[in-house]
Amino acid sequence: MKQSGTTSLRAVGLVAMAVCFPVLGTSRLLAQALHVPYETFTLPNGLQVIVHEDRSVPIVAVNTWYHVGSGDEHTGRTGFAHLFEHIMFMGSQHVPTGRFDQLLEGAGADNNGSTTEDRTNYYETGPSNAAELMLYLDSDRMGFLIPEITAEKVDLQRGVVQNERRQRVDNQPYGLAEENILSRLYPAGHPYSWPVIGSMADLQAASIEDVRNFFRTNYAPNNATIVISGAISPAEARRLAEKWFGEVPRNPTPVQRNSPAPFTLAHDVFATLEDRVQLPRVFNAWHTVRSFSDDDAALNVLADILAAGRSSRLYKRLVYDLQIATQVTSYHDALKMDGSLRLFATARPGHDLNELQHEIDAQIRLLADSGPTAREIQRVQNQTESQFLGQMETVLGKADQLNQYQYFVGTPDYFEQDLNRYRRITPADVQRVARQYLASAHRVVLSVVPQGQTNLAVTEGVTP
Amino acid sequence: MKAVRAIAAMTGLLATLPAGQLAAQVDRTNPPPLGPAPTLRVPTPVTTRLANGLELVVVPMHEVPVVNVTVIVRAGSVRDPRDGPGLATFTANMLDEGAGRRTALEIADEAAFLGAQLNTGASYEWATVSLHVPKRQIGPALDLLADVVVHPTFPDSEVIRQRDLRRTGILQLRDQPTAQAPIAFNAIVYGANHPYGWPTGGTEASTTALDRAKVQAFYDTYYRPNNTRVIVVGDVSLAEARQLLESRLGSWQRGTVPVLAALEAPAPASRTFYLVDKPAAAQSVIRIGQVGVPRNTPDFYALRVMNTILGGSFTSRLNQNLRETHGYTYGANSAFAMRRLAGPFTAAASVVTAKTDSSLIEFLRELRRIRDEPVPAEELEKAKAYITLGMPSDFETTQGTAGQFLDLLTNDLPLSLYSTYLARVTAVTAADVQRVARRYLDPDHFALVVVGDRSQIETGIRALNEGPISLRDLWGQEIH
């Protein structure tokens, strides 16, 4: 991101939703189907525009997704999509360096961007009278950026991004775990085998010509979708989009996206990393499925039941009952080309990671053998439904979600269908995915231990 | 591409355009003018009081079927015993570790099952219990909230469990320079005699000494309806909210709450660098500042504008200088923590270790410049517009709206304040900005706290010749 937040911000942390289980005597949280009405049109240059009108507060959000992320990078140039995101704020042909932010702040608007493995987004929010300014600025950097890309700008933002990496990774306890997991979970050269932030060496190696080529290839109207959301009519949004984006040329050469073959681990991978930390932490990672594919929702529910929050099974077992861990967390991270289920736990002083791993494996086996309870399923469904409602509170939240659905499932208003994916989940579904993707699959087990204390790491073969 | 080139040639620009440059077909010379700004519509709060003294504020918002409830109790860290910092935050954290007939895990499970977020915590002045829940579950969710606020059981086993977890968290502070820095900074600026200087999360010793009796006594003393305010924002009416809360909190017993002794912040030392060693750190975490102002200062609006210019926005001077001009950091900022009493002013950044001294130079340059030079008109107008025109966004969500009114409720300010807010910001002049910068920023008495790799940064800081260096531990205490 340009300012704050997380670099690999997931478009929206979809977790799970809710339905009615009449046997429990409860009703779902939402009385009506969840819909976000929209209009959409595509300009002759291929730019798709989606408009959602909501006048409850006099503000608008403009949310642009470019369909490029770190998953489109190549070995030796990792971190490039995110570095480029920073260049996009550094001025364009008609907007001198610094003016982008000055103009928006002077209009009472905020802006930022974020990069993931699969896409890069840029957004502005502010009073409704700033809508045209937002579209002017976004169109200028889409259509008129190249002559303004200079070595000085690239060098400066390279320094900022390297500091972003220091702040988020190098100066964070356990911060190096993620890239050590990815490089073991994926084969060399796989576009998910490196982190979004990239490596210091690759960031240093990026040349100005790399930056220009990246723009030419990826930053074209026919590789982007814009959502305009809030206190603006579809007619006005269309007029402004045509006015400012109409002249931006399409990229005549369609983008060739990476599409690596499905990959699975042939055996368990154990690794240990010494770090400047007080307590050892064990990370588990399994391959799963692509986002919005068949088992995606069931895996989200599984991760929640296993170790998300204080009502999860592993929290109760590790932190509460046995008191051998200070925390445990799991989540399912489904991306466009692959997914993974992650789980990590930190030992209390006096306990080693074999103790934790033994209990983690026992709880996974229990779920694979016996499945979750109906109440556990409904709890996760209710939490998910509540998260959907929360997202309805902001025009930016709705805009980003409309963009996400458009990109991943090809239709913007997929809210109710998405909820229904979770409403259909049964205990048998969760049991099956626990067995298929966790209990009977290979994984990466990474132990991060204090310097000189590798004896605290998980021992290969200690668990089945 | 062809059509665009043709137009460029027609206008005679082609020869002067660098390769790859396009001529625009629409006039992009100037940004489109902004139309009239939309009217700020601040939701109207309505207030009432229950018979037991509890103050209730309701702000109806019906766009989304959710309700946000925030209970605030004057039970923050300023009530900590002098020899026992951390008791207020620990007591607040213990509220949901057993309440009514439910155990800690049953409370967590019930909240999750209702699709509710239930959180407890404490800041310097207030303890807070907050609930965010879909409208359809407001009844059972409020049952849970009422148990947590009025009937916490503080079981011995949970006190011990949470105490041990907290001790582990204190151990892990050593891993986290951005968590260490404010602890050291507060201790240095406020000293040992002012609670704003004490570690709100406790020390190893004060945490070890926690027990059920201390928690229960603190709760019994301060958690009283006549010491409490509740704000409800969302899909409810005043009558509905009043009935929902009266039936659950109406029987909560009043109590006599001790009055806080008057407190004065210590006189500041002359400008000094305080170095907390973090060997092999990739960055230095910098916190620069001093005692600031209370929230009820008449200079609030001028300070808000001044700080927006200095370090309160992306285009602020600190961020532009340290990030966008020099690339020393991912972000630099500044803020006044305004509370009942004067909280600290802090300028902050995490900077690459090799540029620690250079970063300190730029920080001091900006902190002096805003005092020494009047702010240019364009920069002033941008800051004022950013604040005033951005206000509709602050009231977009139930949580955002609650936050806006909580700023008033926690500082005993009138709830009508937003009706004059825009006019007061708009009235701020360049002279006001310079006046408050001179009055509230005192570079001769700054504490400059740096958590970083001493072996790499000490020589450079000494060479700045801007003040002595004092070595401190992570609690801000002098190392001899």
CB A208 within 8 A of CB A145: no
Tell whether the model's pLDDT for residue B276 goes beyond 50: yes
pLDDT of residue A26: 39
Listed in sequence order, the DSSP H helices in B284-390 are 300-310, 317-319, 356-372, 377-389
Contacts of A379 in chain B (CB under 8 A): 109, 112-113
Q: Is A280 on the interface with B (CB under 8 A)?
A: no
**DSSP 8-state assignment for residue B425:** H
- Cα–Cα distances (Å) from B373 to A46, B322, B359, B425, B431, in that order, read 50, 19, 21, 20, 10
Q: Mean of the pLDDT values across residues B272-294? A: 97
- Sorted by sequence, the CB contacts under 8 Å of residue B29 that are 6+ apart come out as A94
> Chains A, B: CB contacts under 8 A, how many?
239
Cα radius of gyration (chain B): 26
The reply to whether residue A108 touches residue B28, judged by beta carbons under 8 angstroms, is no
Distance from CA of B74 to the nearest CA of A (A): 28
Q: Is A113 on the interface with B (CB under 8 A)?
A: no
The reply to whether residue A276 touches residue B26, judged by beta carbons under 8 angstroms, is no
Tell whether the model's pLDDT for residue B37 goes beyond 70: yes
- Beta-bridged to residue A124, according to DSSP, are A62, A111
CB B138 within 8 A of CB B110: no
The reply to whether residue A386 touches residue B115, judged by beta carbons under 8 angstroms, is yes
Q: How far apart are CA B148 and CA B449, in angstroms?
A: 39
- Cα–Cα distances (Å) from B253 to A251, B129, B213, in that order, read 71, 18, 20
The reply to whether residue A107 touches residue B177, judged by beta carbons under 8 angstroms, is no
CB A104 within 8 A of CB A134: yes
pLDDT of residue B16: 41
Contacts of A348 in chain B (CB under 8 A): 164, 168
CB B261 within 8 A of CB B458: no
Of the partner residues B22, B105, B383, the one whose CB lies closest to the CB of residue A144: B22
Listed in sequence order, the DSSP H helices in B276-341 are 300-310, 317-319
Taking each helix axis from N to C terminus, what angle separates A296-307 and A353-370, rounded to the nearest 10 degrees? Answer: 130
Interface of A with B in 332-351 (CB under 8 A): 348-349
Cα radius of gyration (chain A): 23
Of the partner residues B29, B34, B172, the one whose CB lies closest to the CB of residue A129: B34
- Cα–Cα distances (Å) from A35 to A306, A307, A382, B473, in that order, read 31, 31, 18, 55
Which of A60, A105, A313, A391 to mutate: most B Cβ within 10 Å? A105
pLDDT of residue B291: 98
The 3-state DSSP class for residue A287 equals strand
- pLDDT category at B58 given cuts 50, 70, 90 is very high
Backbone CA torsion sign across A283, A289, A290, A293: negative
Q: How far apart are CA A2 and CA A21, in angstroms?
A: 44
Q: How far apart are CA B259 and CA B355, in angstroms?
A: 48
CB A336 within 8 A of CB A11: no
- Cα–Cα distances (Å) from B144 to A57, B70, B79, B131, in that order, read 32, 13, 26, 10
Residues of chain A with pLDDT under 50: 4-27
Q: Is A187 on the interface with B (CB under 8 A)?
A: no
- Cα–Cα distances (Å) from A195 to A79, A185, A190, A199, B432, in that order, read 7, 12, 11, 8, 47
Q: How far apart are CA A157 and CA B142, in angstroms?
A: 49
CB A225 within 8 A of CB A40: no
Q: pLDDT tens for residues B311-339?
A: 999 999 999 999 999 999 999 999 999 99
Tell whether the model's pLDDT for residue B8 goes beyond 60: no
CB A232 within 8 A of CB A197: no
pLDDT of residue A462: 62
E-strand ranges in B244-302 read 272-277, 283-291
Q: How far apart are CA A429 and CA A302, in angstroms?
A: 9
How far is Cα of residue B190 from the mean position of the Cα atoms in its chain? 18
Q: Is A386 on the interface with B (CB under 8 A)?
A: yes
Q: How far apart are CA A104 and CA A330, in angstroms?
A: 38
Residue whose C-alpha is closest to residue B274's, from B448, B461, B454? B448
The reply to whether residue B115 touches residue A125, judged by beta carbons under 8 angstroms, is no
Tell whether the model's pLDDT for residue B20 goes beyond 50: no
Other residues' Cβ atoms within 10 Å of the Cβ of residue B51? 10
The reply to whether residue A106 touches residue B393, judged by beta carbons under 8 angstroms, is no
Six-digit token pair at A147? 């002559």
Of the partner residues A108, A323, A392, the one whose CB lies closest to the CB of residue B388: A108
| Closest residue in B to A153 (Cα–Cα) | B324
Q: How far apart are CA A394 and CA A396, in angstroms?
A: 5
In single-letter form, the type of residue at position A453 comes to: Q
pTM equals 0.92
The reply to whether residue A276 touches residue B280, judged by beta carbons under 8 angstroms, is yes
Q: pLDDT tens for residues B83-93?
A: 999 999 999 99
Six-digit token pair at A256? 């060739």
pLDDT > 90: percent of chain B: 92
Give me the residue label for tokens 């920023």. B441
**DSSP 8-state assignment for residue B478:** B
